[in-house]
Amino acid sequence: MKATVGILPPMEEAKTTRKVILSGMQPTNDLTIGQYCGALRNWVDLQHEYDSLFCVVDLHAITVRQEPAKLRRRTLDVAAMYIAAGIDPAVSTLFVQSHVPEHTQLSWILTCLTGFGECSRMTQFKDKSAMHADNVNVGLFTYPILMAADILIYNADLVPVGEDQRQHLELTRNLAERFNFHYSPTFTVPEPFIPKVGAKIMSLQEPEKKMSKSDPNERATIFMVDTDDAIRSKVKRAVTDSGTDIVYDEKRAGVANLMTLYSITTGKTTAEIEKEFSGLGYAEFKEAVGEAIVAFLGPVRQRYTELRADEDALRATLRQGAEAARERARKVLRKVYKKTGFVEF
């Protein structure tokens, strides 16, 4: 039986009384358990408190070379995973970034307000240029301006950001204030939204660094779409240390990371975990962690599989989301064009 996605008319009256929040993820690979626990689960809660817009940021993804077929597939994969994780298209506006051309239209105007030095100071540009030395393109340089356009085109009040994006949000705030100063108040100056602190999930192979979807060692990362056997295998091969007891100690990063995963997936406290595995070794502990993750991700993966099996319904949901987003974006862009001095089309 094909999966269907519930679609309801937008609740305009309710939306006007709530602050606007915007966030998105790049479709550069499958989403990880770290992204699910660190961001997606928070979004699910936020959508009921805020006027929420969630997009798949495919335009940002091409600052690094992508295979076209994979990019198309992963864009739909990420959108389906949003819904499987609990993002409700009847409550939130869910869309693909490239389906709303107003993002790039506003980006050009903001580009002309941005100083060269402002972009050249961006730490992420320096880092990514070093990582992709064979493709240091202008899009990578102006990435933060497109991000600013993503935010300002909806007059978002709040933007969930991690440390790596704080500098970009500060540029967004500067550009909003600059446009407002030169042309009259138009944009909301967004504030960073600091979500409730979730446990950081580290690499299974290098537990001193954060789990990453771009890690070349696939054994280091648990993806949301991993099979049960793949999850068990990755946990079984996870790096620990030469000790034997299951005790939380940040100096023992591998064991601490597995305990964090077990805590997230079972709801048990560190003390309860230590008591449960007192006198047992790593083999028994890893087996339990693997089974807990399998049970935790199973329902989401099943829902995801159902959604991806009915691509027409998924595309229809994204189309409706893009139409709703464009209706909002057009109103803002129309004001911006008029104030900038463009002749009305």
User: Which amino acids are annotated catalytic?
Assistant: 128, 210, 213
Nearest to 29 by CA among 321, 314, 261, 226: 226
Rounded to whole angstroms, the Cα distance separating 106 from 108 reads 5
Q: How far is CA 247 from CA 206, 251, 256, 277, in A?
A: 19, 11, 8, 9
Q: How far is CA 37 from CA 21, 198, 261, in A?
A: 19, 7, 10
Instruction: Report which residue type is found at 207.
Output: P
Q: What percentage of the chain's residues is helix, strand, coil (to nearest 5)? A: 55, 10, 35
Q: How far is CA 185 from CA 44, 132, 321, 332, 336, in A?
A: 32, 39, 28, 12, 10
Which strand ranges, in their side-by-side order, compose the sheet holding 93-96? 93-96, 51-56, 20-25, 158-160, 191-193
At 40, list the tokens. 């997606």
Rounded to whole angstroms, the Cα distance separating 122 from 106 reads 20
CA torsion through residues 307, 59, 201, 239, sign: positive
Other CB atoms within 10 Å distance of the CB of residue 152: 28
